[in-house]
Structure 1
Amino acid sequence: MAKKMQRRRRQKRTRSQRGELPFSLVDRFLREEFHSSRLSSSALSFLTSVLEYLTSNILELAGEVAQTTGRKRIAPEDVRLVVQNNEQLRQLFKPGGTSVNEDDN
């Protein structure tokens, strides 16, 4: 006799549970703050991916800092330390910022 195999259904997870940044939020911010009416969907997708990548890297490093200090939660101080101690992040977030076309001299 063959028993019926019970299928387990995956529970649906929201974007916030998956850790994804919604395109609509980035789109609305760009249109409101920069008054940009011409914005392609590929540019929006690329920008959202870059923001997700930066956020995940910063939070991963901040989590390691919090863990080494014996805490389970990331504090704003941990994020600040990560940005100060990482050369690339420090250059990215320095006052005045950097541009894509800027020379490395």
Structure 2
Amino acid sequence: MSAKGKGGRAKKSGKSTSKSAKAGLQFPVGRIGRYLKKGRYAKRVGAGAPVYMAAVLEYLCAEILELAGNAARDHKKTRIIPRHIQLAVRNDEELSKFLGGVTIASGGVMPNVHSVLLPKKSKSKKMSQLQQQQQQGPQWPFAVSFRPKGDPRAS
């Protein structure tokens, strides 16, 4: 048996790998971990906590950006503006509940017209024209009265 061996440690490669890359995330795991420690939310912060939090934040951003992109495409725009984010968040039930107390700057308000103010829907054009003609009576080119001469209503 030889005492010569690797000693359990792998050789350090020239390039370091970030925690975000190891976790397969875009959001900065190291920075979130630093903020958790600096914020004094707890005496100690586990190694998995910043990874999990970065994953949750990345998922929320991806969800909001996808819905905002759909809203921008609906308005025939290629750039997402705060209005599109507002429409995306408020039209989604869960996101609206989650971000209920949040004000999005330059987001505007949700379009809402009270149903009483909307015009009444008609069945079809022909039906509505027939109903108008029945209410107005026949259209004669001259006035004709078929009432007896002694009738007080005769004009």
> TM-score scaled to structure 2, two decimals?
0.46
SS of corresponding position for 1:54:
helix
Q: Given the alignment, which residue of 36, 49, 67 partners 1:43?
A: 49
Contact 2:68 2:85 in 1 (8 A): yes
Contact 2:72 2:80 in 1 (8 A): yes
Deviation, structure 1 residue 42: 1.0
Query: How many residue pairs were aligned?
Result: 80
Partner of 2:76: 70
Q: Which has the higher contact order (CA 8 A, sep 6+)?
A: 1
Give 4+ residue runs of structure 1 displaced > 4 Å after superposition: none
Deviation, structure 1 residue 55: 0.5
Identity of paired residues, percent?
Answer: 31
Q: Given the alignment, which residue of 80, 83, 88 partners 2:89?
A: 83
**Which digits, 9 at most, give the CA deviation of each residue in 1:25-48, with x for residues without a partner?**
212332334454411111111111
- Residues 80-89 or 26-35, more deviating: 26-35
2:46 is the alignment partner of 1:57: no
SS of corresponding position for 2:48:
helix
Deviation, structure 1 residue 82: 1.0
Partner of 1:21: 27
Unaligned runs of 5+ in 2: 1-20, 103-155
Contact 2:71 2:84 in 1 (8 A): yes
Larger Rg: 2
CA root-mean-square deviation: 2.3
For residues 85 and 44 of structure 1, do their structure 2 counterparts lie closer, same or farther at Cα, with a shift above 3 Å needed?
A: same
Deviation, structure 1 residue 19: 7.4
Partner of 2:100: 94
Deviation, structure 1 residue 95: 2.5
